[in-house]
Amino acid sequence: MTLEILTSDLLAPMHHGFFTRRGGASSGVFHGLNCGVGSSDQTEIVEINRKRVAEAMDVDISHLANVHQIHSADVVTATGPITGTRPRADAIVTATPGVALAILTADCQPVLFADSEAGVIGAAHAGWRGALEGVLESTVEAMEALGATRENICATIGPSISQSAYEVGPEFLDAFVASTPDNNRFFTAGEGDRMMFDLPAYGLHRLRTAGVGEAEWTRHCTYSDADRFYSFRRATHAKEADYGRLISCIRL
């Protein structure tokens, strides 16, 4: 099976893609293109999958740059390939041609950024905690430090868990409302004391409030489409031992 790569017109002409799970070498619960180096999948199989992604991005696998994601607002600036121990962060920016920025997700938002005029790109892993703490704004600021202009930056949120599948408890709502009272608009009532959280809408709000030129969500839900996407929450509900990680990439 060939790779399936979702793209966004906003990010053209940058070479980029939100890769689905199709076209990978993994089997079992990881069936497909699992690129999670931290998963319990076979290391050599994950490496095969990552090589397929690197080939699709037209870079050597050594130039597929990703970080050790920790649900933070921390950003790394890459001036070349990331070697050795991966830095602990949740976003990467660069103005260096030939380096493919890569983010792993399995329900959280993969967000790709581009200022095509300045030649600056970024990639962020924005789960609820990272988005609340400001990882999207931090990415924009790091791109500006490389010469990007905020209003020229375009950002696309890739496949993420949608509101209909994202049930949370009252303490979750409290954390968002404590930050900004208007954040209650991203929640609807669920069963009992449960709420349904709209993560992509929240991400778009943070991006637009930050002043980026354009922002969109591809409108793909990771939870509801098991054939195409990995989902941490779906795997948890199914009591599976582990789950695969999707990869999203962009390069100059």
Domains of the chain with bracketed CATH? 5-162+198-251 (3.60.140.10)
Query: Span 4-24, mean pLDDT?
Result: 97
Which letter does DSSP use for residue 190 in this model?
-
Q: Of 172, 191, 85, which is closest to residue 132 (Cα–Cα)?
A: 172
Average pLDDT, the chain: 97
pLDDT at 84: 86
Predicted confidence (pLDDT) per residue in 141-162, tens digit: 999 999 999 999 999 999 999 9
Q: 3-class SS at 239?
A: coil
* Rg of the chain in Å (alpha carbons): 17
User: Is the per-residue pLDDT at 47 higher than 80?
Assistant: yes
Query: Span 110-114, mean pLDDT?
Result: 98
Query: Span 60-89, mean pLDDT?
Result: 95
User: Is the per-residue pLDDT at 100 higher than 80?
Assistant: yes
User: Is the per-residue pLDDT at 194 higher than 90?
Assistant: yes
User: b/e map of 57-76 (b: 16 or more CB within 10 Å)?
Assistant: bebeeebbbbbebebbbbbb
Q: Which residues contact 15 (CB under 8 A, 6 or more apart)?
A: 57, 58, 100, 250, 251, 252
| Residue 31, Ramachandran bin (φ over 0: left; ψ between -120 and 50: alpha; else beta) | beta
User: Is the per-residue pLDDT at 83 higher than 90?
Assistant: no
- Strand pairing report for 109-115 and 187-189: unpaired
pLDDT at 29: 96
User: Is the per-residue pLDDT at 252 higher than 90?
Assistant: yes
pLDDT at 78: 97
Q: How confident is the model at residue 56 (pLDDT cuts 50, 70, 90)?
A: very high
Encoding tokens for residue 207?
């991006």
H helix or E strand, kind and range, residue 103: strand 100-105
Q: What is the 3-state secondary structure (H, E, C) of 216-234?
A: EECCCECCCCCCCCCCHHH
User: b/e map of 157-176 (b: 16 or more CB within 10 Å)?
Assistant: bbbbbbbebbebeeebbeeb
User: Is the per-residue pLDDT at 1 higher than 90?
Assistant: no
Q: Of 122, 158, 161, which is closest to residue 138 (Cα–Cα)?
A: 122
